[in-house]
Structure 1
Amino acid sequence: MALRFAVSPLWETVAALRVLAAPGYFPVHQRWAAWAERRTTDLGEDPTLLTALVTMPVVPEFLIPTPGIRSIGMDEELRWLPRVAKPARIAAALPDVPRFRPLLENHAEALARICDRLAAVHDAIIAPVWSRLEGVLQGDIERRGRRLVEAGGPTVLAELHQDVGYGDAGLDVHGDHVPVGKRDLVLIPSAFIWPDVYLRNSPVRLALCYPAHGFGSLWERSATPVDNALARLIGPTRARLLRELERPSTVSELATRLGVTVGAVSQHLNVLRATGLAVSRREGREVVSLRTGLGLALVRGEVR
């Protein structure tokens, strides 16, 4: 079993739509849901089958292909979706009812309209808060990646959720045993999945979506002025750097914005990463950094 992690903007979009469909079930997201409902209303009624698909008890696997890499953009995921959602796969995932027949009878057109709607929803309710979301998701991966090195895969899986375990060469989820075999097992942290976990079972790889550590403080607000206190705690340059890490940035970009040397930024980033306040990842030929959920909470004065 090859165990790895991934962040999926497509999954967060689908999971967010499921939250909006049952807001009373997700009180932790009430502040976000009130904001997101207004923005989805502005999009108008869903003219596609997307709402019907994402609110099924089990989201059809063809709609949420598992990323092959740790970090992927929404545009790339939407380009990949039609390659996965072939007619045979759609037919196997959906009941044979008139409502879903357009996905088989007018496959390309129906799927293109769903992708367009997914893109519009993502732009409306996920993209504006993505830097905050991604910090929590990437921070969770860093945290569990260290735990993977320390304790091994079975322990990491058992710590994801009370209904998850590993044994007999398979994954146990909600009491069901799913053999892994030679497939990859991809762990996908999510801000919107709590209190559940969600298993995607495909022939190529298994994916387990689980609640990301620190998601509960995503939408909290703090009226506490923290700039001076933060600077006293971690130093003025690191405090400024942590605030700048609201969006993914390279070392050279940060050096320019802060007016310090690249070497100084690198040294401060090493400290922020070591204390769990920031994460770094490679994007093509560049390495970008982003603050974690803990880093966000510190900037906002929510760490007690």
Structure 2
Amino acid sequence: MGVVEWRFEADDLARLRFAFSPMWELVASLRVLRAPARHSVHLAWLRAVRPRLEAIDLSELFALAPTYGYMADFLTPPPDTPLPDFAAELARVRLTSPEKASEEAGWVETPDTRSIDRFRADPVGGVQRVADTLGAYWELALAEFWPRVYGLLEADLMWRSRRLATGGATALFADLHPLVRWERDRLITTGTWCHSGEPTGDGVVLVPSAFRWPDIATMTEPYQPMLVYPARGVGTLWEAGPPPAPGALAALIGKTRAQLLLSLCHPASTTALARRMSLTPGAVSQHLTVLSGNGLVARRRLGREVLYRRTATGDALVSSS
């Protein structure tokens, strides 16, 4: 059993940040495909995508990201913005140096040594080939479902950010995962390998994940230090559609506005709500304006985004319906 330990100075804690990554979700989903019993929460997704995958050869990706143990880090570069898009992350994978890709491929333990040998024999072509496969796999397996996953990850990110703001690191890490703990000035995770040091670069990035559930993952130097943990509410991810609007509430304010109000159990942006509700951002914005004008939701700016949340009046209306 290994331990990864980061020692934090005051400025390291100030540089702690959150982000999420469509590329990380995509690569993590490769393990879900091959170990469905361990990831039973995603069975609905598996049933939907498996018939589509007969048209694509995933053997090289499976070799680089085996079911257990180390997977090549270049496949999942730490997100460099809070909300990266898949195209930008795929471009970063394509820019991986052949030397780094070959070295990391050599660290992978997999029974498919033929695929690893092929990749290392021509890492320049291998990186481009793997990037092409990732792009095709994204279109077949995750692009359609990304708005739903995005909404879950965004809700977790907002909840954790509030925990950090109100209770500091102790509150943030108290229930992040059983294998993660905060001790005075140290962030400690238990896993399969060892590392000890101070966070480098821009500090530690905390990345909620749907497809990594129920495990954690860490990445250290020479990459940006990163801790991946299961997002809250993964068990509800594949529930169909937005929450049903109670009849009385829908009759009072309309079905769509009732569903929006119910969806705001956690703060969310207009974009996330539009994806979750299968509406245009403009339509969501109009409904939010009405709800805000009647004191049922409030808005708050967080960086470049505006987040909406239910007010106490909105909570009372939902609970009474």
Query: 1:91: Cα distance to partner?
Result: 3.8
Query: 1:234: Cα distance to partner?
Result: 6.8
CA offsets per residue over residues 137-176 of structure 1, 9 Å max, x none? 0000000000000111243133210101234754321165
Query: 1:44: Cα distance to partner?
Result: 3.1
Structure 2 Cα separation of the partners of residues 61 and 258 of structure 1: 38
| Structural mapping, 1:9-158, within 5 Å | 9-41=22-54, 43-46=55-58, 49-55=60-66, 57-83=69-95, 85-95=96-106, 99-158=115-174
Structure 1 partner of 2:5? none
- Name the TM-score, length of structure 2 as normaliser: 0.73
Sequence identity (%): 33
Query: 1:21: Cα distance to partner?
Result: 1.0
The counterpart of 2:239, out of the listed 214, 220, 227, is 220
Gap runs ≥5 in structure 1: 292-300
1:6–1:69 Cα contact (<8 Å) kept: yes
Matching residue's letter, 1:117: T
2:78–2:223 Cα contact (<8 Å) kept: no
- Say which is worse superposed, 224-233 or 189-198, in terms of deviation: 224-233
Query: 1:268: Cα distance to partner?
Result: 7.5
- Name the TM-score, length of structure 1 as normaliser: 0.77
Quickly say closer, same or farther: Cα 1:36–1:177, change in 2 above 3 A.
Answer: same
The counterpart of 1:162, out of the listed 175, 178, 183, is 178
| Matching of residue 192 in structure 1 with residue 211 in structure 2 | yes
CA RMSD, 1 decimal:
3.7
- Say which is worse superposed, 171-180 or 205-214, in terms of deviation: 171-180
Query: 1:98: Cα distance to partner?
Result: 5.6
Query: 1:18: Cα distance to partner?
Result: 0.8
Structure 2 partner of 1:180? 198
Query: 1:198: Cα distance to partner?
Result: 0.9
The counterpart of 1:208, out of the listed 220, 227, 244, is 227
Structure 1 partner of 2:275? 247
CA offsets per residue over residues 110-163 of structure 1, 9 Å max, x none? 111111111111111111111111100000000000000011124313321010
Counterpart secondary structure, 1:181: coil
